[in-house]
Structure 1
Amino acid sequence: MNSERPGPAQLELERFLPYRLSVLSNRLSAAIARLYAERFSLGMTEWRVMAVLGRYPDLSASEVTGRTAMDKVAVSRAVARLIDAEWLQRSPHADDRRRSVLRLSEAGHAVYDEVAPMALAFEQRLFGDIGPAQLDRLFALLDRLDALDIEAEAEAESEAEPDADPEPASDRASGAAK
Protein backbone atom coordinates (compact mmCIF):
# COMPACT_ATOMS: atom_id res chain seq x y z
CA MET A 1 0.00 0.00 0.00
CA ASN A 2 1.32 3.42 -0.96
CA SER A 3 1.42 5.70 2.09
CA GLU A 4 1.97 8.84 0.04
CA ARG A 5 -1.10 11.00 -0.18
CA PRO A 6 -1.79 12.17 -3.72
CA GLY A 7 -2.03 15.92 -4.07
CA PRO A 8 -1.13 18.86 -6.22
CA ALA A 9 2.03 19.75 -4.28
CA GLN A 10 4.32 17.32 -2.52
CA LEU A 11 7.22 18.71 -0.49
CA GLU A 12 10.43 16.89 -1.24
CA LEU A 13 11.90 17.63 2.16
CA GLU A 14 15.40 16.52 1.18
CA ARG A 15 15.45 19.40 -1.35
CA PHE A 16 13.44 21.94 0.71
CA LEU A 17 16.03 24.36 2.07
CA PRO A 18 14.11 25.65 5.13
CA TYR A 19 13.62 22.07 6.30
CA ARG A 20 17.23 21.07 5.67
CA LEU A 21 18.64 24.17 7.40
CA SER A 22 16.34 23.69 10.39
CA VAL A 23 17.24 20.03 10.84
CA LEU A 24 20.95 20.73 10.42
CA SER A 25 20.79 23.64 12.86
CA ASN A 26 19.00 21.50 15.44
CA ARG A 27 21.50 18.65 15.05
CA LEU A 28 24.52 20.96 15.32
CA SER A 29 23.08 22.86 18.28
CA ALA A 30 22.27 19.64 20.14
CA ALA A 31 25.77 18.26 19.51
CA ILE A 32 27.46 21.44 20.73
CA ALA A 33 25.07 21.66 23.70
CA ARG A 34 26.30 18.28 24.92
CA LEU A 35 29.76 19.85 25.27
CA TYR A 36 28.66 22.49 27.77
CA ALA A 37 25.27 21.43 29.15
CA GLU A 38 26.44 19.03 31.82
CA ARG A 39 29.53 20.96 32.87
CA PHE A 40 27.85 24.36 33.17
CA SER A 41 24.12 23.50 33.43
CA LEU A 42 23.75 25.77 30.43
CA GLY A 43 21.00 25.31 27.86
CA MET A 44 21.17 26.09 24.15
CA THR A 45 19.19 29.30 24.48
CA GLU A 46 21.34 30.55 27.35
CA TRP A 47 24.52 29.78 25.42
CA ARG A 48 23.24 31.58 22.33
CA VAL A 49 22.49 34.66 24.44
CA MET A 50 25.95 34.46 26.01
CA ALA A 51 27.61 33.94 22.63
CA VAL A 52 25.92 37.03 21.18
CA LEU A 53 26.77 39.16 24.21
CA GLY A 54 30.33 37.83 24.21
CA ARG A 55 30.67 39.15 20.66
CA TYR A 56 28.41 42.22 20.96
CA PRO A 57 28.27 43.54 24.54
CA ASP A 58 25.74 46.12 25.71
CA LEU A 59 22.74 44.94 23.72
CA SER A 60 19.16 45.06 24.88
CA ALA A 61 17.19 41.82 25.13
CA SER A 62 15.29 42.91 22.00
CA GLU A 63 18.57 43.33 20.13
CA VAL A 64 19.67 39.86 21.25
CA THR A 65 16.35 38.53 19.97
CA GLY A 66 16.96 40.24 16.63
CA ARG A 67 20.50 38.89 16.29
CA THR A 68 19.48 35.32 17.13
CA ALA A 69 16.02 35.17 15.52
CA MET A 70 14.90 33.35 18.67
CA ASP A 71 11.53 33.77 20.32
CA LYS A 72 11.30 36.89 22.49
CA VAL A 73 9.92 34.93 25.45
CA ALA A 74 12.70 32.32 25.20
CA VAL A 75 15.34 35.07 25.19
CA SER A 76 13.68 36.81 28.13
CA ARG A 77 13.66 33.59 30.16
CA ALA A 78 17.27 32.83 29.24
CA VAL A 79 18.31 36.35 30.26
CA ALA A 80 16.53 35.95 33.61
CA ARG A 81 18.27 32.60 34.26
CA LEU A 82 21.66 34.04 33.29
CA ILE A 83 21.16 37.03 35.58
CA ASP A 84 20.13 34.68 38.42
CA ALA A 85 23.29 32.64 37.77
CA GLU A 86 25.25 35.92 37.88
CA TRP A 87 26.60 35.35 34.37
CA LEU A 88 24.87 38.43 32.97
CA GLN A 89 24.53 41.97 34.22
CA ARG A 90 21.73 44.33 33.31
CA SER A 91 22.34 48.07 33.49
CA PRO A 92 20.58 51.21 32.27
CA HIS A 93 21.33 52.36 28.71
CA ALA A 94 23.74 55.31 28.70
CA ASP A 95 21.49 57.50 26.51
CA ASP A 96 18.04 56.25 27.49
CA ARG A 97 17.48 55.33 31.14
CA ARG A 98 14.18 53.61 30.22
CA ARG A 99 16.12 50.95 28.31
CA SER A 100 18.56 48.46 29.73
CA VAL A 101 21.58 46.75 28.23
CA LEU A 102 23.05 43.36 28.94
CA ARG A 103 26.64 42.27 29.21
CA LEU A 104 28.51 39.26 30.48
CA SER A 105 29.63 39.51 34.09
CA GLU A 106 33.13 38.49 35.10
CA ALA A 107 31.80 35.00 35.92
CA GLY A 108 29.93 34.98 32.59
CA HIS A 109 33.13 35.83 30.74
CA ALA A 110 34.86 32.93 32.52
CA VAL A 111 32.17 30.53 31.27
CA TYR A 112 32.26 32.08 27.79
CA ASP A 113 36.06 31.77 27.73
CA GLU A 114 35.73 28.01 28.39
CA VAL A 115 32.76 27.25 26.12
CA ALA A 116 33.79 29.30 23.06
CA PRO A 117 37.01 27.30 22.44
CA MET A 118 35.03 24.05 22.84
CA ALA A 119 32.54 25.26 20.22
CA LEU A 120 35.36 26.33 17.88
CA ALA A 121 37.12 22.98 18.29
CA PHE A 122 33.84 21.20 17.49
CA GLU A 123 33.45 23.34 14.37
CA GLN A 124 37.04 22.56 13.35
CA ARG A 125 36.44 18.81 13.69
CA LEU A 126 33.16 19.13 11.80
CA PHE A 127 34.65 21.06 8.88
CA GLY A 128 38.01 19.27 8.93
CA ASP A 129 37.47 17.63 5.53
CA ILE A 130 36.03 20.75 3.91
CA GLY A 131 38.59 22.98 2.27
CA PRO A 132 38.92 26.73 2.85
CA ALA A 133 37.51 27.56 -0.61
CA GLN A 134 34.42 25.44 0.05
CA LEU A 135 33.93 27.07 3.45
CA ASP A 136 34.28 30.52 1.90
CA ARG A 137 31.63 29.57 -0.67
CA LEU A 138 29.33 28.19 2.05
CA PHE A 139 29.60 31.37 4.11
CA ALA A 140 29.08 33.53 1.00
CA LEU A 141 25.88 31.61 0.25
CA LEU A 142 24.74 31.90 3.86
CA ASP A 143 25.43 35.65 3.75
CA ARG A 144 23.30 35.95 0.59
CA LEU A 145 20.46 34.00 2.19
CA ASP A 146 20.75 36.05 5.37
CA ALA A 147 20.52 39.29 3.36
CA LEU A 148 17.19 38.27 1.84
CA ASP A 149 14.12 39.95 3.25
CA ILE A 150 12.46 36.62 3.94
CA GLU A 151 9.59 38.01 6.02
CA ALA A 152 8.65 40.52 3.31
CA GLU A 153 8.71 37.72 0.73
CA ALA A 154 6.40 35.59 2.87
CA GLU A 155 4.00 38.51 3.36
CA ALA A 156 3.96 39.29 -0.37
CA GLU A 157 3.27 35.64 -1.15
CA SER A 158 0.38 35.42 1.31
CA GLU A 159 -1.14 38.65 -0.05
CA ALA A 160 -0.85 37.38 -3.63
CA GLU A 161 -2.74 34.15 -2.90
CA PRO A 162 -6.50 34.47 -3.38
CA ASP A 163 -8.64 33.52 -0.42
CA ALA A 164 -10.14 30.41 -1.96
CA ASP A 165 -12.28 29.40 1.01
CA PRO A 166 -13.32 32.26 3.30
CA GLU A 167 -15.67 29.97 5.26
CA PRO A 168 -14.10 28.87 8.58
CA ALA A 169 -13.39 25.16 8.86
CA SER A 170 -15.57 24.95 11.97
CA ASP A 171 -18.58 26.16 9.95
CA ARG A 172 -17.95 23.57 7.23
CA ALA A 173 -17.50 20.80 9.77
CA SER A 174 -20.68 21.59 11.65
CA GLY A 175 -22.70 22.17 8.50
CA ALA A 176 -23.65 25.64 9.70
CA ALA A 177 -26.20 27.36 7.51
CA LYS A 178 -25.62 30.81 6.16
Structure 2
Amino acid sequence: MTALKLNDFLPYRMSIASNAVSDAVATAYRNLFGLRIPEWRLVAVLAEGGAMSQQALCGRTRMDKVTVSRAAIGLVERGLIARAANPIDQRSHLVALTPEGWQLYEQVAPKALELERRLFASFSEEEKTQLAAMLARIEDAATAFDGG
Protein backbone atom coordinates (compact mmCIF):
# COMPACT_ATOMS: atom_id res chain seq x y z
CA MET A 1 0.00 0.00 0.00
CA THR A 2 1.31 3.45 -0.93
CA ALA A 3 1.42 5.91 1.96
CA LEU A 4 -0.15 9.29 1.53
CA LYS A 5 2.31 12.12 2.22
CA LEU A 6 0.46 15.41 2.43
CA ASN A 7 3.41 17.53 1.32
CA ASP A 8 3.54 15.46 -1.89
CA PHE A 9 -0.25 15.39 -2.39
CA LEU A 10 -1.05 18.08 -4.97
CA PRO A 11 -4.67 18.74 -3.93
CA TYR A 12 -3.44 19.43 -0.39
CA ARG A 13 -0.65 21.71 -1.63
CA MET A 14 -3.13 23.61 -3.83
CA SER A 15 -5.43 24.06 -0.86
CA ILE A 16 -2.60 25.35 1.34
CA ALA A 17 -1.44 27.76 -1.38
CA SER A 18 -5.01 28.92 -1.97
CA ASN A 19 -5.55 29.49 1.75
CA ALA A 20 -2.32 31.48 2.03
CA VAL A 21 -3.30 33.71 -0.90
CA SER A 22 -6.87 34.09 0.41
CA ASP A 23 -5.58 35.05 3.85
CA ALA A 24 -3.33 37.75 2.36
CA VAL A 25 -6.15 39.08 0.19
CA ALA A 26 -8.67 38.92 3.03
CA THR A 27 -6.42 40.91 5.33
CA ALA A 28 -5.83 43.59 2.69
CA TYR A 29 -9.51 43.93 1.75
CA ARG A 30 -10.69 43.89 5.34
CA ASN A 31 -8.17 46.53 6.41
CA LEU A 32 -8.63 48.80 3.40
CA PHE A 33 -12.31 48.40 2.58
CA GLY A 34 -14.03 46.43 5.36
CA LEU A 35 -14.78 43.59 2.93
CA ARG A 36 -14.67 39.87 3.47
CA ILE A 37 -13.56 37.65 0.58
CA PRO A 38 -17.10 36.49 -0.33
CA GLU A 39 -18.27 40.12 -0.43
CA TRP A 40 -15.38 41.15 -2.67
CA ARG A 41 -16.07 38.21 -4.99
CA LEU A 42 -19.70 39.27 -5.38
CA VAL A 43 -18.70 42.87 -6.07
CA ALA A 44 -16.15 41.78 -8.68
CA VAL A 45 -18.49 39.31 -10.39
CA LEU A 46 -21.30 41.87 -10.52
CA ALA A 47 -18.91 44.48 -11.92
CA GLU A 48 -17.87 42.08 -14.69
CA GLY A 49 -21.21 40.42 -15.40
CA GLY A 50 -23.90 42.93 -14.48
CA ALA A 51 -27.07 42.12 -12.58
CA MET A 52 -27.67 38.46 -11.86
CA SER A 53 -29.51 36.13 -9.52
CA GLN A 54 -27.95 34.78 -6.36
CA GLN A 55 -28.08 31.32 -7.96
CA ALA A 56 -26.01 32.64 -10.88
CA LEU A 57 -23.59 34.18 -8.37
CA CYS A 58 -23.20 30.76 -6.73
CA GLY A 59 -22.24 29.28 -10.08
CA ARG A 60 -19.85 32.08 -11.03
CA THR A 61 -18.07 32.18 -7.66
CA ARG A 62 -18.26 28.47 -6.77
CA MET A 63 -19.52 29.53 -3.33
CA ASP A 64 -22.47 27.86 -1.64
CA LYS A 65 -25.92 29.47 -1.30
CA VAL A 66 -25.48 30.36 2.37
CA THR A 67 -22.15 32.13 1.78
CA VAL A 68 -23.54 34.06 -1.20
CA SER A 69 -26.68 34.97 0.72
CA ARG A 70 -24.75 36.25 3.74
CA ALA A 71 -22.37 38.23 1.55
CA ALA A 72 -25.29 39.72 -0.40
CA ILE A 73 -27.11 40.69 2.80
CA GLY A 74 -23.99 42.44 4.09
CA LEU A 75 -23.52 44.30 0.81
CA VAL A 76 -27.20 45.33 0.67
CA GLU A 77 -26.96 46.63 4.25
CA ARG A 78 -23.94 48.72 3.25
CA GLY A 79 -25.73 50.06 0.19
CA LEU A 80 -23.23 48.49 -2.20
CA ILE A 81 -25.67 46.24 -4.04
CA ALA A 82 -29.41 46.44 -4.60
CA ARG A 83 -31.95 43.67 -5.06
CA ALA A 84 -34.78 43.84 -7.59
CA ALA A 85 -37.43 41.43 -8.79
CA ASN A 86 -36.26 39.14 -11.55
CA PRO A 87 -38.55 39.78 -14.56
CA ILE A 88 -37.74 36.33 -15.98
CA ASP A 89 -38.27 34.35 -12.75
CA GLN A 90 -40.52 35.90 -10.11
CA ARG A 91 -39.23 33.40 -7.51
CA SER A 92 -35.79 35.01 -7.53
CA HIS A 93 -34.20 38.43 -7.31
CA LEU A 94 -31.47 40.07 -9.32
CA VAL A 95 -28.68 41.82 -7.51
CA ALA A 96 -26.59 44.59 -9.01
CA LEU A 97 -24.01 47.10 -7.89
CA THR A 98 -25.30 50.46 -6.73
CA PRO A 99 -23.39 53.63 -7.61
CA GLU A 100 -21.66 53.27 -4.22
CA GLY A 101 -20.80 49.67 -5.13
CA TRP A 102 -19.25 50.83 -8.39
CA GLN A 103 -17.21 53.46 -6.52
CA LEU A 104 -15.94 50.77 -4.16
CA TYR A 105 -15.09 48.47 -7.07
CA GLU A 106 -13.14 51.26 -8.75
CA GLN A 107 -11.09 51.66 -5.56
CA VAL A 108 -10.59 47.93 -4.91
CA ALA A 109 -9.80 46.73 -8.44
CA PRO A 110 -6.44 48.57 -8.71
CA LYS A 111 -5.48 47.25 -5.26
CA ALA A 112 -6.36 43.72 -6.37
CA LEU A 113 -4.20 44.06 -9.47
CA GLU A 114 -1.33 45.42 -7.38
CA LEU A 115 -1.65 42.50 -4.96
CA GLU A 116 -1.57 40.08 -7.89
CA ARG A 117 1.49 41.84 -9.33
CA ARG A 118 3.33 41.59 -6.01
CA LEU A 119 2.30 37.99 -5.47
CA PHE A 120 3.58 36.88 -8.87
CA ALA A 121 6.56 39.26 -9.13
CA SER A 122 9.02 36.36 -9.21
CA PHE A 123 7.16 34.62 -12.06
CA SER A 124 7.95 35.21 -15.72
CA GLU A 125 5.12 36.04 -18.12
CA GLU A 126 5.49 32.54 -19.57
CA GLU A 127 5.17 30.96 -16.10
CA LYS A 128 2.05 33.02 -15.34
CA THR A 129 0.52 31.96 -18.67
CA GLN A 130 1.37 28.31 -17.96
CA LEU A 131 -0.07 28.54 -14.44
CA ALA A 132 -3.30 30.05 -15.74
CA ALA A 133 -3.60 27.26 -18.32
CA MET A 134 -2.91 24.58 -15.71
CA LEU A 135 -5.48 26.08 -13.33
CA ALA A 136 -8.08 26.07 -16.11
CA ARG A 137 -7.34 22.39 -16.79
CA ILE A 138 -7.61 21.56 -13.08
CA GLU A 139 -10.93 23.41 -12.83
CA ASP A 140 -12.25 21.56 -15.89
CA ALA A 141 -11.15 18.20 -14.48
CA ALA A 142 -12.70 18.96 -11.08
CA THR A 143 -15.95 20.08 -12.73
CA ALA A 144 -16.08 16.87 -14.76
CA PHE A 145 -15.26 14.82 -11.67
CA ASP A 146 -18.07 16.31 -9.59
CA GLY A 147 -20.60 15.97 -12.39
CA GLY A 148 -20.51 19.57 -13.56
Match of 1:127 in 2: 120
Question: Contact 2:84/2:95 (CA < 8 Å) preserved in 1?
Answer: yes
2:29, 2:37 within 8 Å by CA — same for their partners in 1?
A: no
Q: Deviations over 1:49-85 (max 9, x none)?
A: 1121121121211111111211211111111111111
Partner of 1:141: 134
Query: Which 5+ residue runs of structure 1 have no aligned equivalent?
Result: 1-7, 154-178
Amino acid at match of 2:101: G
Match of residue 113 from structure 1:
106
In the TM superposition, residue 41 of structure 1 has moved relative to its aligned partner by 1.7
TM-score (norm 2): 0.90
Distance in 2 (CA, whole Å) between partners of 1:44 and 1:152 is 26
Contact 2:51 2:94 in 1 (8 A): yes
1:35 aligns with 2:28: yes
- Between the aligned partners of 1:152 and 1:40, the Cα distance in structure 2 is 37
Q: Give the whole-Å Cα distance in 2 for the aligned partners of 1:70 and 1:96.
A: 22
Q: Flag the structure with larger Rg.
A: 1
Could you tell me which residue of structure 2 aligns to residue 159 of structure 1? none
How many pairs were matched up? Answer: 146
Decide which of 39, 46, 53 is 1:53's aligned counterpart. 46
What is the aligned partner in structure 1 of residue 8 from structure 2?
15
89, 101, 115: which one aligns with 2:94: 101
Q: Percent identity?
A: 37
Which residue among 75, 79, 82 is the counterpart of 1:86?
A: 79
Q: SS of the counterpart of 2:147?
A: helix
In 2, Cα distance between the equivalents of 1:15 and 1:51?
34
Cα deviation for residue 115 of structure 1 reads 1.0
TM-score for both structures, normalised by structure 1: 0.76
Q: Could you say what secondary structure the match of 1:101 adopts?
A: strand
Structure 2 portions without partners, runs of 5+: none
Bigger helix fraction:
2
